[in-house]
Amino acid sequence: MLYALGKSLGSEEGFGEVKAYLTSPLAKFVIWALLSALLYHLVAGVRHLIMDMGIGETLEGGKLGSKIVLIISVVLIVLAGVWVW
Amino acid sequence: MVTNVTNLSRSGLYDWMAQRVSAVVLAAYFLFLIGYIIANPGMEYTQWHSLFSSNWMRIFSLLALVALGAHAWVGMWTIATDYLTPMSFGKSATAIRFLFQAVCGVAMFAYFVWGVQILWGI
């Protein structure tokens, strides 16, 4: 990711190269995979912050929260796939 | 027994807070960057370059990079002290865990220096 950032900021040709490379199916799949991991981590992390505030700390709340995290993550991951392709 | 000698601050409560503060910074950075790219489809080099040339974006990026290092250190420390234990590795657990944390530390430092070079090299 840093390599792509450095190349895309380094010169106009570098930016074009990164842009062209990102059109390949394999690169798109890798980007989607990275985005998926990040989105799930983000959603689960927000759940942690909410639970730190004392919300959903019971057994029932924990079960419900984990289901909500999974549903929101799946929706975001599908949307990310639509965006990447 | 695992001691807190390799955690970020030698204090569990401070680590707990550092993890959450860095998480909020990273969430803000990630959401901003994704939002910016979504809001500007078909972006050209000049716009991308000027975004990262502005002072506030450099500060924001550097903040995110520091937060990434701290966040990753706390996270990897948690994983290492939870799973790389004498229960799973016997006597060599401390050596394995130390090595793992050393690799993580070097990686985070390298990412930080590399990121600074990119941000200030343009």
B25-43 pLDDT per residue, tens:
999 999 999 999 999 998 9
pLDDT in tens, B71-105: 999 999 999 989 988 888 888 988 999 999 999 99
- Distance CA(B87)–CA(B1), nearest Å, equals 10
What pLDDT digit, counting tens, does each position of B6-16 carry? Answer: 778 778 888 99
Taking a C-beta distance cutoff of 8 angstroms, is the pair B119, B61 a contact? Answer: yes
Q: What is the pLDDT of residue A12?
A: 85
**What pLDDT sits at residue B1?**
47
Side chain identity, residue A20: A
Query: Given pLDDT bands bounded at 50, 70 and 90, which one contains residue B3?
Result: low
For A6, which of B20, B30, B118 is closest by C-beta distance?
Answer: B118
Q: Phi/psi at B42 (nearest 5 deg)?
A: 65, 35
In the three-class reduction of DSSP (H, G, I as helix; E, B as strand; rest coil), residue A4 is classed as: helix
Domains of chain A listed by start with CATH number:
25-84 (1.20.1300.10)
Q: Write the pLDDT tens digit of every residue in A3-60.
A: 888 888 888 888 988 988 888 999 999 999 999 999 999 999 999 999 999 998 899 9
Q: How far is B90 from chain A (nearest CA, A)?
A: 31
**Contact map slice: A 41-80 vs B, CB within 8 A:** 42, 45-46, 48-49, 52
Which of A15, A46, A49 has its CB closest to that of B48?
A: A15
- The nearest CA of chain B is from the CA of A60 a distance in Å of 24
CA torsion, ordered A26, A9, B38, B27, to nearest 10 deg? 90
pLDDT tier, B4 (very low <50, low <70, confident <90, very high otherwise): low
- Per-residue pLDDT, B99: 94
Domain B12-121 has what CATH class?
mainly alpha
What ranges do the domains of chain B cover? 12-121
For helices B45-53 and A12-21, what crossing angle results, to 10°? 110
| Among the listed residues B22, B14, B13, B7, the one whose alpha carbon sits nearest the alpha carbon of residue B97 | B7
Kindly tell me the burial class for residue B1, based on how many C-beta atoms sit within 10 Å of its own C-beta (0-12, 13-18, 19 or more). exposed
The response to whether B83 counts as a known ligand-binding position is yes
